[in-house]
Amino acid sequence: MNIGDVAKRAGLPPKTIRYYEEIGLIKPLRGPNGYRAFREQDLHKLAFLSRARTLGFTIEDCRTLLALYADEGRASADVKQVAQEHLGQIDDKIAQLKTMRDTLSELVRCCAGDNRPDCPILNDLAAEV
Amino acid sequence: MNIGDVAKRAGLPPKTIRYYEEIGLIKPLRGPNGYRAFREQDLHKLAFLSRARTLGFTIEDCRTLLALYADEGRASADVKQVAQEHLGQIDDKIAQLKTMRDTLSELVRCCAGDNRPDCPILNDLAAEV
DNA sequence: TATAAGGATTCCAGTGACGGGAAGGTCAAG
DNA sequence: CTTGACCTTCCCGTCACTGGAATCCTTATA
């Protein structure tokens, strides 16, 4: 398979696939013409990566997860730990965004949004320290 | 005021303040020794920026907001629009993170987390495309 | 007065995870 | 034989900083 085919099948841009090779996540073979020659196992890894990235895992997490996946003697506890830490970070991020949203939506609600200059949003931003 | 003083008062690292000058958000004066000489208005702008960044506005948004703040003849509608667009992006981000969290927490819940290799998290990631 | 600390300066490089685009090689169809 | 669709590598840009090196200025202390 050429990169275009795996790209479609894995749902990843060719650029991303080349990048994943560059950082050592996958190691596709090469044909005599210099083209990458992807095997089913490469596609499988790429699909794994695509899914993991969709769930927000970092590239380093993905590396760890791929290693655990390849390790038949892994403990599910190790996988769970990676996922739980990630989950914690997602929760932190959500909490942070919610705080922003609450403040912002209140400010937006209070703003007349007309052609006059007075604006509670700017007033908030410019509030004395 | 030297950069260390404004940094403390505005709650921003000196590095960030230098960066803000570099991209033209602030224009502090210079003393004869080459040190930046911050006026009250510079501090005020930095506090504004600090607050706006806390609310998640991009640097370009901040630039727009500072310009609107400086424009006595602004329409609050313009400010409101910037805030509303940002609010929309925050909401999108939250929704995306929530989707991740829901999937992830379910996977984590199903994972035994013991010393056996079988793991629903990996099974999900490795699911056929 | 020498010196040492602590702050200031600039400049360069790196972050994460790619994306854009140039310059060029390869392949299948007409 | 040419066209166009692929593929290759290489380098730069993203966003908003952060770290670190090398150097300069100021202030406090021995």
Looking at residue B88, what is its pLDDT?
A: 96
In which residue are the tokens 């699911």 written?
B127
B30-42 per-position pLDDT tens digit: 999 999 999 999 9
Please say if the pLDDT value at position A128 is more than 90.
Answer: no
Do residues B56 and A125 make contact, with C-beta atoms less than 8 angstroms apart? Answer: no
User: A27, A44, A28: which is closest to A36 by C-alpha?
Assistant: A28
Give B128's contacts (C-beta < 8 A, 6+ positions apart). Answer: A47
Pure H helices in chain A: 3-10, 14-22, 40-54, 59-70, 76-110, 120-125
Which one is the CATH code of A1-58: 1.10.10.60, 3.40.30.10, 2.40.50.100, 1.10.1660.10? 1.10.1660.10
- What are the tens digits of pLDDT across the range A87-121? 999 999 999 999 999 999 999 999 999 999 999 99
d(CA A13, CA A6): 9
Of A9, A83, A112, nearest to B104 by CB-CB distance is A83
Interface of A with B in 46-75 (CB under 8 A): 47-48, 51-52, 54-56, 65, 68-69, 71-75
Q: How close B32 comes to chain A (CA, Å)? A: 29
The dihedral region occupied by A56, where left means phi > 0, alpha psi between -120 and 50, and beta the remainder, is: left
Round to whole Å and give the CA distance between A68 and A45: 12
Domain parsing of chain B, residue ranges? 1-55, 75-129
pLDDT, position B68:
97
Whether the per-residue pLDDT at B129 is higher than 90: the answer is: no
8 Å CB contact between B68 and B83: no
* Mean pLDDT taken over chain A: 96
8 Å CB contact of B97 and A97:
yes
**Per-residue confidence band for B128, with pLDDT thresholds at 50, 70 and 90:** confident
For residue B111, name the pLDDT band (cuts at 50, 70, 90): very high
CA dist., res. A6 & res. A38, Å (int): 7
Contacts of A73 in chain B (CB under 8 A): 117
A40-63 residue pLDDT tens: 999 999 999 999 999 999 999 999
Chain A and chain B share a number of CB contacts under 8 A equal to: 169
CB contact burial B50-86 (16+ within 10 A = b; e otherwise): bbbbebbbeeebbbbbbebbeeeebbbebbbebbbeb
pLDDT for position B61: 97
Asked if A122 contacts B69 with a C-beta cutoff of 8 angstroms, the reply is: yes
Q: What is the residue whose two structure tokens read 């920026």?
A: B49
Q: Which amino acid is at A96?
A: Q
| Cross-strand partners of B37 | B29
Task: Say which nucleotide is closest to residue A12, CA to C1' distance.
Answer: C18
Whether residues B83 and A114 touch (CB distance < 8 A) is answered with no
Of B48, B55, B72, the CB nearest to A117: B72
Q: Which fold has domain B1-55?
A: Multidrug-efflux Transporter Regulator; Chain: A; Domain 2 (1.10.1660)
Across the interface, do B129 and A86 touch by the CB < 8 Å criterion?
A: no
**CB pair distance less than 8 Å for A97 and B101:** no
Chain B residue with minimal CA distance to A75?
Answer: B115
Instruction: Write down how long chain B is.
Output: 129
pLDDT tens per residue across span B56-85: 999 999 999 999 999 999 999 999 999 999
Q: Which of B51, B101, B125 sits opposite A52 (nearest CB)?
A: B125
Interface of B with A in 13-42 (CB under 8 A): none
